[in-house]
Structure 1
């Protein structure tokens, strides 16, 4: 089985990038995998030292079959960087495993992603593969290592060119979609944050490629496969993060086993058990509680700095 290329996006977080790379280099399949690294340019003059530090790290990467480095001269922004970078690699290889510089992977992450890419490549109803999952208790009698849910995951994910290249990144039917209750309600059903994020992207409040990817999957009635035991952890909840900060409600339990082959579902169907769990995680009450905890954390940090 040929291995999918890894696409890694970095910006100005050298410490997090070091952790991401160390974990990725420790993967069983790292030495056989091609790595493409895209580093964005500085948005402000004050960002230059950290961007330079990231580039020095990337200059010295080893441990992969081949390494392809791409350094932007100016700041392109997260969404543009990912859309164009992934499109470039997809056009060349037909599939890709995608990471950002704040994701720590398990040693079997690449095994899991490549197996899923191979198993579902001819199943267009499988839109993407997620390496991350919340730490849900696996139910008694559940005999596979993954489950399906109709929402994309953007923390360590993979997909195929035929799914990716069909995305309308401008969302030309946005107004038509908003006016159609029969489309909006199912979109919000699988995550009460999604419609709000789509509106915020449209108004320019957030620079998100992920919500448009999510929308494309919903439009195609596609599924994402998630592992029952997470292969990815996000360590990017800091002031340097583009879209994550504050209280981390996404802490998970990583797969620390030595498993390198997985029992993946043959039937592509929605899992009621895991679906209920995920819908609750993205429900309004849970998200509201998260905002309260984030505000408390911000105040605590502010007081600590003030009293220092």
Structure 2
């Protein structure tokens, strides 16, 4: 393992104690957990019906052991996931310069923390790498491709890491949105990692959705930057069962197994749009013609 100062872990929780318990127990199995500091951000209940679940979550958090240090931040007012992530990551990254971020519905491989910390050290000076993904969608990777990591023009929100100098470049208001939405060439470039992202950004700016991830993804695009994805998936989302903010209905498309296999991190990284992995990645996230028509009718975006 690369010699390093371990990045702090940030874990966001709301009202799913059962999922959270699985996430924590799984994370504790990581080889670097005992040497890592973890910050738990617990959002306040949005309504009275969530009071008991939030209380259960907080009781659970106060019993957590197995890490070098645990700090719990309990919000007094409900922020929602997007604001919680933006504010929480900004708060911690201003102190530590780098962070590893999880939510309360993710389980990870036992070498997830090692992988993230290795990448944070290895590629700290590679300014066009804005973030490190732990999740790799179930796409086809041809056997002739030997790489263990890939630069992809799309960020991941499921078990990821970043550095302070990259995070602070994100414009959460997307001030140039009006210029972007008139420029088809920019939209085409933005959609190199999937043709769903422009519609998501439009919905975000209209207030239809409240997503930190699509704005973070836009920051990657604005700065000609990439997310580094692992060949061997290290994250599984157990919240696609209909219990979460982003998945109110069960979704099986994203299910893929976790791999404990080791990895090689090359000294040099290159983005290759012709790479079959990059092509298959885009296909995985591309929306259907039907969905594109719906988006056009609702938001006048193709």
* TM-score normalised per structure 2: 0.91
* Residue 41 (structure 1) aligns with: 44
C-alpha deviation, 1:112, in angstroms: 0.6
**Residue pair 1:188, 1:194 contacting (<8 A) in 2 also:** yes
**Residue pair 2:172, 2:215 contacting (<8 A) in 1 also:** yes
In structure 1, how many angstroms separate the alpha carbons of the residues matched to 2:229 and 2:73?
30
Describe how 1:92-107 pairs up with structure 2 within 5 A: 92-107=95-110
**Residue pair 1:112, 1:262 contacting (<8 A) in 2 also:** no
In structure 1, how many angstroms separate the alpha carbons of the residues matched to 2:100 and 2:131?
10
Residues 16-61 of structure 1: CA deviation (Å, up to 9, x unaligned): 0011101100000000111011000000100001101110110111
**Residue pair 2:153, 2:192 contacting (<8 A) in 1 also:** no
C-alpha deviation, 1:287, in angstroms: 8.8
* Residue 269 (structure 2) aligns with: 267
In structure 1, how many angstroms separate the alpha carbons of the residues matched to 2:134 and 2:50?
30
Q: Given the alignment of the two structures, is residue 253 of structure 1 paired with residue 257 of structure 2, yes or no? A: yes
* TM-score normalised per structure 1: 0.89
Gaps of 5+ in 1: 292-308
- Specify the SS of the correspondent of 2:60: helix
Q: Given the alignment of the two structures, is residue 238 of structure 1 paired with residue 247 of structure 2, yes or no? A: no
- Specify the SS of the correspondent of 1:276: helix
* Residue 300 (structure 2) aligns with: none
Q: 1:287 to 1:264 in 2, by over 3 A?
A: farther
**Residue pair 1:12, 1:240 contacting (<8 A) in 2 also:** no
C-alpha deviation, 1:262, in angstroms: 3.1
* Residue 81 (structure 1) aligns with: 84
Count of residue pairs the alignment pairs up: 287
Q: 1:25 to 1:4 in 2, by over 3 A?
A: same
* Residue 184 (structure 2) aligns with: 181
Q: 1:21 to 1:264 in 2, by over 3 A?
A: farther
C-alpha deviation, 1:142, in angstroms: 2.6
Residues 226-271 of structure 1: CA deviation (Å, up to 9, x unaligned): 01111000010234310123222100121134x3x53346223236
**Residue pair 1:144, 1:265 contacting (<8 A) in 2 also:** no
Gaps of 5+ in 2: 295-302
In structure 2, how many angstroms separate the alpha carbons of the residues matched to 1:238 and 1:136?
21
Q: 1:172 to 1:181 in 2, by over 3 A?
A: same
* Residue 152 (structure 2) aligns with: 149
Q: Given the alignment of the two structures, is residue 8 of structure 1 paired with residue 8 of structure 2, yes or no? A: no
- Specify the SS of the correspondent of 1:284: coil
In structure 2, how many angstroms separate the alpha carbons of the residues matched to 1:26 and 1:278?
30
In structure 1, how many angstroms separate the alpha carbons of the residues matched to 2:267 and 2:232?
14
- Specify the SS of the correspondent of 2:288: helix
In structure 2, how many angstroms separate the alpha carbons of the residues matched to 1:166 and 1:99?
21
**Residue pair 1:281, 1:287 contacting (<8 A) in 2 also:** no
The CA RMSD measured in Å over matched residues stands at 1.7
* Residue 169 (structure 2) aligns with: 166
